[in-house]
Amino acid sequence: GAVVSQHPSWVICKSGTSVKIECRSLDFQATTMFWYRQFPKQSLMLMATSNEGSKATYEQGVEKDKFLINHASLTLSTLTVTSAHPEDSSFYICSARDGDTVNQPQHFGDGTRLSIL
């Protein structure tokens, strides 16, 4: 149980393109989903917390107009990297919590490798 699916797994696109990444909880409802960024050989860096039906909460230093998050249903959150540039190239990972309480662990998707040329 507690499977999180992330799509696409790998994207290569030109500078200036907007890229949308989907995160789905397959067998549970996720009131809260999270978006992380991970650089090579480093730990995960939280970008934003996404709550179903409300605006996302962004971490300090993360541009909300650059990284648009939509959490329209209890099983789907999307991250759109707008006008992507080479410095946005990274590994983006979503997670979801099974249940409403903070004491439930987060389950992660398999990540999206974004390469901007």
Partner 1 sequence: QKEVEQDPGPLSVPEGAIVSLNCTYSNSAFQYFMWYRQYSRKGPELLMYTYSSGNKEDGRFTAQVDKSSKYISLFIRDSQPSDSATYLCAMNHYGNNRLAFGKGNQVVVIP
Closest CA to 56 of 94, 18, 25: 94
Give me the least distance between CB of 53 and partner 1, in Å please.
16
Q: Single out the residue of 73, 110, 115, 117 in contact with partner 1 (rule: CB under 8 A).
A: 110
For partner 1 (CB under 8 A), the number of binding residues is 24
4 binds partner 1 (CB under 8 A): yes
Q: Which of 80, 82, 89, 106 binds partner 1 (CB under 8 A)?
A: 106
* Cβ–Cβ < 8 Å for 5, 95: no
Secondary structure class of 88 (helix, strand, coil) = helix
Question: Residue 70: enclosing H or E segment and its boundaries?
Answer: strand 67-73
**Selected range binding partner 1 among 13-21, 37-45, 60-68, 78-86, rule: CB under 8 A:** 37-45
Terminal C-alpha separation, the chain: 37
Q: How far apart are CA 116 and CA 49, in angstroms?
A: 24
Q: Which positions touch partner 1 (CB under 8 A)?
A: 2, 4, 6, 32, 34, 41-44, 46, 49, 91, 93, 95, 102-103, 105-111, 113
